[in-house]
Amino acid sequence: DTGVSQDPRHKITKRGQNVTFRCDPISEHNRLYWYRQTLGQGPEFLTYFQNEAQLEKSRLLSDRFSAERPKGSFSTLEIQRTEQGDSAMYLCASSLANLAGGPGNEQFFGPGTRLTVL
């Protein structure tokens, strides 16, 4: 399977615990995005990497959230001291930068990690 993969698919944790999610993008894709989707809503942007550089973090991302993409390949999203409001689907997407300009490239999504904080 050469698509975007995410692990785990589901995570149930108790409030106050730390959790870490992993995203493996399509191998040649240099851009990686994290989004969060709550029930009945469209996804919201969290953060973005071009290669290993984290170029933007949404104000939705509190200090309890951190993301890395150390070698420009897979990425991790960690949530410290989880709260019930963190319960959501966390989606990862990747794309290939359109260096020639233009509208940019299509984003390919992973299956998501559903987090439930009890």
> What residue ranges bind other proteins (CB under 8 A)?
31, 33, 35, 40-45, 48, 50, 55-56, 91, 93, 95, 97, 102-112, 114
User: Shortest approach of other proteins to residue 104 CB, angstroms?
Assistant: 4
Q: Which is closer to other proteins, CB of 74 or CB of 109?
A: 109
H helix count then E strand count, the chain? 0, 11
User: Shortest approach of other proteins to residue 16 CB, angstroms?
Assistant: 27
Cα dist. 65→5, 40, 48, 86, 108 in Å? Answer: 20, 23, 13, 10, 23
The residue type of 61 is: L
User: Shortest approach of other proteins to residue 86 CB, angstroms?
Assistant: 19
CA distance 68 to 46: 13
CA distance 1 to 66: 28
Q: Which is closer to other proteins, CB of 20 or CB of 107?
A: 107
User: Shortest approach of other proteins to residue 56 CB, angstroms?
Assistant: 4
